[in-house]
Chains A and B, each alone.
Chain A
Amino acid sequence: GNSVTQMEGPVTLSEEAFLTINCTYTATGYPSLFWYVQYPGEGLQLLLKATKADDKGSNKGFEATYRKETTSFHLEKGSVQVSDSAVYFCALSDAVQGAQKLVFGQGTRLTINP
C-alpha cells in the first residue's frame, strides 16, 4: 500500500541555518504530495503541495519539488527562524482512487534556537 517515510527527528538548528527535511514515498498511481505543519497547541495547517512530477510547491520561504525518479519530496528553507519551530508532516494523496485519503509520515519535530 501507499506509505510515506520522513527523516527522524528531532532536528535542532540555529536561526538563519539552512533546513532540509527528507521525505520519500511509495505509491501506486500518481499521488499528490503535501507538507503540513503543526505549531505548538494548534491543528495541522497545509504548508505547500505539488500535484505532478517536477512541480515545485512553495510557501513562507519553504520549498519542495516533486521528484518522481527518486520518489521524494524534500522540504527546504534557506534561512530558518525561531517561529518555524513546529512538527512537519509529509503526506500523499492518490486522487485517482477517488477517496482521497491522506497518508502521513511520522512527523519531524523542528526546533530553532535563537
Chain B
Amino acid sequence: EAGVAQSPRYKIIEKRQSVAFWCNPISGHATLYWYQQILGQGPKLLIQFQNNGVVDDSQLPKDRFSAERLKGVDSTLKIQPAKLEDSAVYLCASSLGLQRGLTDTQYFGPGTRLTVL
C-alpha cells in the first residue's frame, strides 16, 4: 500500500516570496492534515480537512497561509508572502476518518523542509 506522498522534499526561498506544497494521501483516507514542525519542536496542526471541507483551521495564520483540498483527495498548502519564521518541515498526514469516539490513526508523509532566507 502506498503511503502519503509529498513534494517537493526541500525548498529554499527568500522572504516575501511565495511557495506551495503538495500532498497525496493514502487512497481511501477521508481526513487530511497539515502540520508545521519547527526545528527542535513537535509538530503543530495547521489545518484539518474531512473530504474537501475544513474541520479545524484555528492555528493556521490565515493572513499568509492558505490550503485547499480539491475533490477531497490531493491537497496544497501555500504561503504568501513567506517570513523567516516559516522555516520548518511541513508534514502532511491522512487517516480513514472514523466516527466520533473511535481512535483514528494518522499516517505521515516524509515532509517538505522549507528554508526561508
- Interface positions of A (Cβ within 8 A of B): 4, 32, 36, 42-46, 49, 51, 89, 91, 93, 95-102, 104-107
Point out which of B4, B31, B105 has the most chain A C-beta atoms below 10 A from its C-beta: B105
Is the CB–CB distance between B42 and A106 below 8 Å?
Answer: yes
Assuming the contacts A43-B108, A43-B109, asked whether A106 and B41 have C-beta atoms less than 8 A apart, the reply is: yes
Q: Give complex CA distance A98, B107 in Å.
A: 18
Q: Give complex CA distance A17, B100 in Å.
A: 41
- Interface positions of B (Cβ within 8 A of A): 4, 31, 33, 35, 40-45, 48, 55-56, 91, 93, 95, 100-111
- Provide the residues of chain A in CB contact with B55, threshold 8 Å: 98-99
Is the CB–CB distance between B56 and A101 below 8 Å?
Answer: yes
- Provide the residues of chain A in CB contact with B44, threshold 8 Å: 104
**CB-defined A-B contacts under 8 Å, sample of 11:** A44-B108, A46-B107, A49-B103, A91-B42, A100-B95, A100-B106, A102-B35, A102-B43, A104-B42, A104-B44, A106-B40
- Provide the residues of chain B in CB contact with A100, threshold 8 Å: 31, 95, 103-104, 106
Name the contact of A107 in the complex, choosing from B42, B100, B102 (C-beta under 8 A). Answer: B42
